[in-house]
Amino acid sequence: VSIQSHRKDEHVSLAIKFYDQTSHAGFDQLRFVHQGIPEISLNDIDTSTNIENIKMDFPIYIEAMTGGSEYTKKLNQKLARIAKSTGIAMATGSQSVALKDNSVASSFEIVRETNPNGIVFSNLGASADVSRAKAAVKMMNSDAIEIHINTPQEMIMPEGDREFNWIENIKSIQEELDCPVIVKEVGFGMSKETIQQLVDAGVKNINISGKGGTSFSKIENYRRKKQEMDYLEDWGQTTVESLLEAQPFKDKANIIASGGIRTPLDAVKAIALGANSVGIAAPILYSLIKNGEEETIEYINDFIYGMKSIMTMLGAKNLSELQNKKLILNADLLSYVEQRGLPY
């Protein structure tokens, strides 16, 4: 087993070890105003959304996690079956490992084999060049590609990258790929400055993946023998803070949320803050490993029902109506908005 394949297995086991059902992504700092007479029926709720030309029936999808080893091949196969059965889209983990070692390509290819008509997102780091990005898309005949940015993770990993000249590269990938490109964080969030850089580079889909769910500073720090960089465990902006940072860009790019989405209420709040879809990673993996495939399908269907219930209570019959619902911010969040000069 290669060092890289081993790392993929470790990421899964550590994400499960540190899994916390309670979100720390800031959703408890926000609340909706209850509307007692919504004049709407649950059956009229339309949850459909799109990422450029990709039409999705539901605004949630399985976020990038895995692939690159025998064990994670089985997980990807199960995740693909879950995606197929629930009708939601699915991203895989970074395919970089398979571009270096073709013997593990099947751990990604299996996703498309299992779900031939499903919506599949590729994933690579922002240092990958255009030809690799194209190869990653080809590997799964993907509908879109996620390009992740993850400087804290790289810095904490002893074997991680130390040079970060990404923007020209992101620009080339954006220009030369035929499918939608989504630039995403991995749970450290984004600032308005970062989002501005991406918008200036022509990026049309931005997943702010904020702090408050799976923590790659915690995971990578644990993988270091002495865990000496634990002072970085709280680094980054929460998902809620990042969505507030994204306010000025809602008309310039599709904003996608992930990081610490743990309940249907979290997901609905993320959409009300401007996201047009929401990625969920660790809760689905945790459910799959602890409870199995059938229960995970049920978990996702219940999650969608929960989102529809909240939309009904709010009288929001589709995503754009939901995006017009203003949330009440608590004092800490209001202070954040003021200090950062954010329009909300």
What residues line the site for ligand FNR (CB under 6 A)?
A: 11-12, 15, 63-66, 93-94, 123, 146, 148, 184, 186-187, 209, 213-214, 258-261, 280-282, 285
Question: To the nearest whole angstrom, how small is the minimum distance from the Cβ of residue 64 to ligand FNR?
Answer: 4
Give me the residues paired with residue 280 across strands: 62
If the CB atoms of residues 232 and 316 are measured against ligand FNR, the closer one turns out to be 232
Cα distance between residue 105 and residue 253, in whole Å? 32
Cβ burial 293-318 (10 Å sphere, 16+ → b, else e): eeebbebbeebbeebbebbbbbebbe
Question: To the nearest whole angstrom, how small is the minimum distance from the Cβ of residue 56 to ligand FNR?
Answer: 17
Question: To the nearest whole angstrom, how small is the minimum distance from the Cβ of residue 163 to ligand FNR?
Answer: 19
If the CB atoms of residues 5 and 94 are measured against ligand FNR, the closer one turns out to be 94
If the CB atoms of residues 118 and 187 are measured against ligand FNR, the closer one turns out to be 187
Cα distance between residue 69 and residue 340, in whole Å? 43
Helix (H) / strand (E) containing 200: helix 192-200
Decide if 32 contacts 314 (C-beta within 8 A): yes
Count Cβ atoms within 10 A of the Cβ of residue 341 and give its class: 0-12 exposed, 13-18 middle, 19 or more buried.
exposed
Cα distance between residue 241 and residue 233, in whole Å? 17
Rg value, the chain, Cα: 19
If the CB atoms of residues 190 and 261 are measured against ligand FNR, the closer one turns out to be 261
Decide if 208 contacts 146 (C-beta within 8 A): no
If the CB atoms of residues 107 and 258 are measured against ligand FNR, the closer one turns out to be 258
Question: To the nearest whole angstrom, how small is the minimum distance from the Cβ of residue 123 to ligand FNR?
Answer: 5
Cα distance between residue 137 and residue 186, in whole Å? 20
If the CB atoms of residues 91 and 311 are measured against ligand FNR, the closer one turns out to be 91
Question: To the nearest whole angstrom, how small is the minimum distance from the Cβ of residue 28 to ligand FNR?
Answer: 15
Question: To the nearest whole angstrom, how small is the minimum distance from the Cβ of residue 330 to ligand FNR?
Answer: 21
If the CB atoms of residues 118 and 259 are measured against ligand FNR, the closer one turns out to be 259
Find the residue with minimal CB distance to ligand FNR: 213
Question: To the nearest whole angstrom, how small is the minimum distance from the Cβ of residue 214 to ligand FNR?
Answer: 3
